[in-house]
Structures are given as C-alpha cells and as structure tokens.
Amino acid sequence: MEDLGKAMGMSVSVKPNPATTWTAVDFTLPGDATKATITITSALGVTVLSSELNGHQGQKVLDLRNLSDGVYVYTVRCGELVQTGKLVITKCMT
C-alpha cells in the first residue's frame, strides 16, 4: 500500500530528524483526501502518539517532549493507503 500511496500523490516528510523536542510533518494526501492519521510507535510496537492530519496539504507540528530517546516508526494512514518512516529522538544533541 505504501507504493500505491506514493503513486497516487501521497507524500510525507518529517523534519528535523533526528528530533529533540518537536518535529514537523509536511504532508500531501492522495486525490481529494483531506483527513489522515499519524501514529508514532516505539521499538516495542506501542503507540506513543497519535494525531489527525487535516487538509489535502499542510504541516502538523508534533510535541515530542514526553517521549524518550530512541528510534520510533511513524505511520500516516489515509483510508487504506499507508506511508511509514523512521523517526529518531535524541534529547542530548552534541
């Protein structure tokens, strides 16, 4: 479904990555879709954050201050279409 989403115009980028206290999700949803959900999942498979994305195209800033350092997976789901990626959280950047 990820390749199908990209083929239909769905795109998602998460920056900065690695992140410390926040990250911005830039998104374009496929076709005329205006609603999607982003979830952040820990390495143990536990959903630690979930938020709605509204509008065909836009940006959503996520507050990461309550999450621990680590590697997470983000999943954007729009109907049956899905796009995933890796998000690294590092509180102590040197």
Number of domains the chain contains:
1
User: Where residue 53 sits, what CATH number does that domain have?
Assistant: 2.60.40.1930
Within a domain: 60: yes
Within a domain: 84: yes
Within a domain: 16: yes
Residue 67 structural domain: 2-89
Within a domain: 24: yes
Q: Give 4-54 pLDDT, tens digit per residue.
A: 777 788 999 999 999 999 999 999 999 899 999 999 999 999 999 999 999
Q: Does the pLDDT of residue 93 top 70, yes or no?
A: no
Q: Does the pLDDT of residue 94 top 60, yes or no?
A: no
Q: Give 51-68 pLDDT, tens digit per residue.
A: 999 999 999 999 999 999
CA–CA separation, 41 and 34 (whole Å): 23
Within a domain: 45: yes
Within a domain: 94: no
